[in-house]
Amino acid sequence: MHSLVRSRLFWISIGAAVVASLLPLWLSAYLLSVLTGAYYFGVFAMSWDLLFGFAGEVNFGPTFLIGLGAYSAAILNNQYHLPIPLCLVAAACTALFGGVLLAVPALRLRGPYFGLVTLVAVLLLQNAIVIFAKFTGGEIGMTVFDVLSIDATTNYYYALGFLVVSAVLLTRIANSAIGLILQASGQDPVEAAVLGFNVTKHKVAAFCISALLSGLAGAMLIFYMGAASVDTVIDISIGVQIIIAAILGGRRTIVGAAIGAVFLIVATEFLRPLGQLNTFVVSAVALAVILLLPDGILGFALRAGTRE
Amino acid sequence: MSSRPVLEVRDLRKRFGGLVAVNGMSFDLHAGEILGLIGPNGSGKSTVMKLIMGVERPSGGTIRLNGEDLAGLPPHRIARAGITIMFQHSRPLHRQTVLENIKLALLPDSLLRLATGPEVDRNARSIAKRVGLGHAIDRRPGTLPFADLRRMELAKVIARDPKVVLIDEPFAGLTLTEIAAFSELIRALGDEGRAVLLVDHSVRSIAALADRVLAMYLGEPIARGNAEEVMSNETVRRVYLGGELQPIGQNSRVTADAPSLLQIEQVRVLYGKAQALDKIGLFVRQGECVSIVGLNGAGKTTLFNTVSGLVPYSGTIRFRDDDLRNKSAGEIARAGVVQCPESRELFGTMSVRENLDLGGHLLPANARARQLEMLFGLFPILASRQSQAARTLSGGEQQMLAIARALMMNPALLILDEPTLGLAPVVIEQLSKALGELRKTTPITLLLGEQNVTFALPHADRVYVLDHGRLTWEGGPAKFAEEMGQGYL
C-alpha cells in the first residue's frame, strides 16, 4: 500500500515536472514570470515543510533565513561586485550560519518558544536592515547589478530547475532513515530519545537543510527580480504566506508545499482584477481548504486515491 | 546471581518543587533477572523508571550500568549505553507501517546514513515474527488491536538489544490470554540474559513473572523479597489498605428516608472498545458520605468524571431530579456537583490565595469571605501559605488546597477522588480530621473514592465496592470490615 502511494506521488510529480517544462511553448512572458516567482516561493514552502511536517517544529520566521540569503547576496553584488555564483554560495552559507546560530539555542527550549524565537528573529533582521540603511538600502531596498537573465523563458527554466532539484533533495531526505527519525522526534521526542536518538542534533540538521535551501532560494529570487527589499523577502506577511502555502498543499508531503505555493501565487495573480479584494478572496479560500481538508490538497488527493 | 549486578541504583532522589517524589531508592538488578517494582499510585515508581532512563534528571544518587555512572545523562546517551524502556502509552508513527516502526528502533543515531542496509530489514522482520506480529508487518499501527500495539512496542525494545529493560505496567489493558503470551515474551528477555525491571501498582499481576519484588511507598523502599513475602508484609498491607480495618460503630446522622441527591442508573462507559464502566447503579442521599472503594484501575475516576460530565456515557444520572445528560461540565459544577480530582489540577504558578479565589469566583463577595474564613479554620496551614505558589507546596498541602478550592464553590455534593494518594500517614490523619470537622459543621454531601479503606471507612455511611468497572458489593462500613476485610488486596 505504501509503495503504491509513493509511486502515485512519484508519477504525479514527474507528470507535473514534464508539463511545467513544456509550458513556455504556450504561455506568455507575463505568465511565465508569475510562475517563476511562484517556483521560488515553492522552494521556501518545501523547506518549511521539512521543519514543520517532519521535525514537528513551527518556524514562524522562514523569512529570516530567506532574508539573510537574499540580503547577503545583494550586498555582495551591489557593494563588492562579486559575480552571481559566488554570491549564491555566500548567501547559502550565511543563511546556514544564521540558522545554526538561531536554532541551537532555540531548539533547547520547550513548547511554543521555538516558534516565538523565530518570529522575533524576523523582526530583528528587519530592523537591522532599516538601521544600517547606508549599507543595505534600508526601507527602499537595494538593486543588484547582475541578473540571472533578461529572458523570461531562461529565468523560468532556472526557477523550475531549482525547484525540481530542491524537491528531489528534500523528498529523498524525507523518505530516508533520517526522515523517519525526524518524524519520530517531532511526534514524541521522549520516545525518540529513549530509542537512542539525539533529538536536538536531528532537528538542528533539519533546520540547517531548510536554512540552506531557503537562503539559496532567496538569493536566486533577487537575482531574478533585480532588487532586494524588506517587503519582498523579509516581511512577516511573506512568512505567513509561506506557511499557508505549505499547509494548503499538505503537511508532510514536501511536493504538496510547492503545489500550495504555486496555487497561492497564481490565484493571487489571476484575481488581481478584483483589486484589494484579491488577497481577501485567496485568504478565504486558503482558510476554507485548511478547515475542510486538514491534510491539504495533496494529502486529500492521495487519500482519496488509496480509498478506492 | 552472585556475579556483579548489571544495574546498581544507589540513594536515588528526586524533588519536584516542594514534592519529594523519590527519596533514597537503592537496588540492584542482575543479568537475566526479573525484578518487580510495586507501589500504590503516587508512590514514585514511575519516577524511578524515568530517572533511570534519564527522562527526568535525578536530584541525587547514582545509577551505575556495569560500573559506569549514568545519572544525569540525557536519555539518548543512556539508551545507547544499553538501557531501554517500554512506556505504558506510546505514540507510534501512524503514517508508517509496523515494519518501519520496528526499523526505526534499529537505526543508528547518525546524520550520514540516508539508506538502511538489507540487514536492518531482515532483522526487523525476524523481530516482528518473534513477538507474533509476522502477519501484520505491512499494516499501519492505527489499524492494530491494542495487544498488537503493545507487541510492536516490545519489538522496538528487542530491536535495541538492551542490557536492561524497563517496562511500565506490562499487562495494563490486556486480556488473560494476552497476559499469558506477554509473560512468555518478557520471560524470554530474561532468559537471554537481559535484566528486566517491571513496574506495576499491584503485586498480583506480576507475581508469577518476577524473581524478586521491591515495594515502595512515598519514594522509599518498604519491603523486599519474593512476591509472597512482599504480599504478606505488614507494611505493604498497610500502605495499600491503610492498616488494620477497625469495625466502626459510626453514628449515621442520615436517616434512611432522606431524599436522594444523586441517582445513577444503568450507566455504561466505553473507552474505545474497552468497557470502563458496566451497568453502574447507585445513589447518594442528602447529607450522606458514600464511599466507593476499589483498587487502581477499577473505574473510580471514570465514574466520577462521568458524573462531572467529562465522559460520554449511556444510562441516566440525576442530580436533585434534574437529568444531567445534556449539561456541560461547567453547568454541572455550577449546579452544585464539584469534583476534587485525583490529579489535583492546581494552577501551579498561581498563589494559594489565587487558586482559592478562582474557586470562589461565582460567590458574592461577602459569602466568599465567609467561606474563605471557614476553610482557613479547617486548614490553618493554607492561611499561612496564602502568597506561596501552589506548585511549591508539599504533597499534603497541595491536596488540602485542592479540597479547599473545590469547597470554595460551596458545593452541595463534593466528589473526592483518592485524596490520600501519595500522602504520608501523618498527613492522611490531618486530612481525616478535617473531613470529620467539615461534615460536623456543614450540611455537605460527600462521594469519596478511595483505595485506602481505613481512611474511607470512618467517614462512610455506606460503601460500594467497584471492581473492573462493576459494582460488586454494597453495604454499611461495619459489614464491610466483616465481609470484605480479608480478601480485598
Whether B252 is in a domain gets the answer: no
Same domain, B54 and B148: yes
The C-alpha atoms of residue A248 and residue A296 are separated, in whole angstroms, by 5
Q: How confident is the model at residue A305 (pLDDT cuts 50, 70, 90)?
A: low
Domain span at residue B67 reads 7-241
% pLDDT > 70, chain B: 94
Q: What is the mean pLDDT of chain B?
A: 87
Q: How confident is the model at residue A308 (pLDDT cuts 50, 70, 90)?
A: very low
pLDDT at A306 (0 to 100): 57
CA nearest A253 in B: which residue? B95
Interface test with B, best of A4, A100, A183, A194 (most B CBs within 10 A): A194
A48 phi and psi angles, rounded to 5 deg = -70, -35
* For residue B249, pLDDT beyond 80: no
Same domain, B173 and B320: no
Q: How confident is the model at residue B344 (pLDDT cuts 50, 70, 90)?
A: confident
Number of structural domains (chain B) is: 2
Whether B46 is in a domain gets the answer: yes
Same domain, B385 and B288: yes
Whether B251 is in a domain gets the answer: no
CB B210 within 8 A of CB B36: yes
Composition of chain B by helix, strand, coil, percent to 5: 35, 25, 35
Residue-wise over A193-224: b if at least 16 C-beta within 10 A, else e? bbbbbbbbbbbbbbbbbbbbbbbbbbbbbbbb
pLDDT at A202 (0 to 100): 92
Same domain, B312 and B201: no
CB proximity A306 to B under 8 Å: no
Question: Which helix (H) or strand (E) is B306 found in, with range?
Answer: helix B300-307
Q: A177 vs B97: CB contact, 8 Å cut-off? A: no
Q: How confident is the model at residue B487 (pLDDT cuts 50, 70, 90)?
A: low
Of the candidate ranges A162-171, A274-283, B383-392, the one whose mean pLDDT is the lowest: A274-283
Of the candidate ranges A4-18, A274-288, B335-349, the one whose mean pLDDT is the lowest: A4-18
Helices (H) and strands (E) in chain A, counts: 15, 2
CA nearest B158 in A: which residue? A195
Q: What is the mean pLDDT of chain A?
A: 89
Same domain, B236 and B324: no
The C-alpha atoms of residue A165 and residue A172 are separated, in whole angstroms, by 11
pLDDT at A3 (0 to 100): 53
CB proximity A168 to B under 8 Å: no
Of the candidate ranges B60-74, B136-150, B345-359, the one whose mean pLDDT is the lowest: B136-150
Residue A80, burial from CB neighbour count under 10 angstroms (0-12, 13-18, 19+): exposed
Residue whose C-alpha cell reads 507546596 in the numeric block: B393
CB B291 within 8 A of CB B462: yes
Amino acid at B10: R
Most confident of A86-95, B18-27, B471-480: A86-95
Q: A176 vs B138: CB contact, 8 Å cut-off? A: no
Q: B79 vs A193: CB contact, 8 Å cut-off? A: yes
Whether B338 is in a domain gets the answer: yes
Q: Which fold has domain A2-307?
A: ABC transporter involved in vitamin B12 uptake, BtuC (1.10.3470)
pLDDT at A307 (0 to 100): 47
**Section A100-113 average pLDDT:** 83
Q: Using one digit for the tens of pLDDT, what is the confidence trace for B254-294?
A: 667 788 899 999 999 887 767 788 889 999 999 899 999 88
**Where residue B411 sits, what CATH number does that domain have?**
3.40.50.300
Same domain, B306 and B218: no
pLDDT at A141 (0 to 100): 87
**Section B104-132 average pLDDT:** 87
CB B148 within 8 A of CB B133: yes
**Section A78-87 average pLDDT:** 92
**Section B359-388 average pLDDT:** 90
CA nearest A202 in B: which residue? B111
**Section B319-348 average pLDDT:** 90
Residue whose C-alpha cell reads 490523619 in the numeric block: B429
The C-alpha atoms of residue A116 and residue B250 are separated, in whole angstroms, by 59
Most confident of A80-94, B388-402, B411-425: A80-94
pLDDT at B244 (0 to 100): 55
CB B24 within 8 A of CB B11: yes
Q: Using one digit for the tens of pLDDT, what is the confidence trace for A132-177?
A: 988 888 888 898 888 888 898 999 999 999 999 999 999 999 988 8
Q: Which residues contact A300 (CB under 8 A, 6 or more apart)?
A: A250, A293
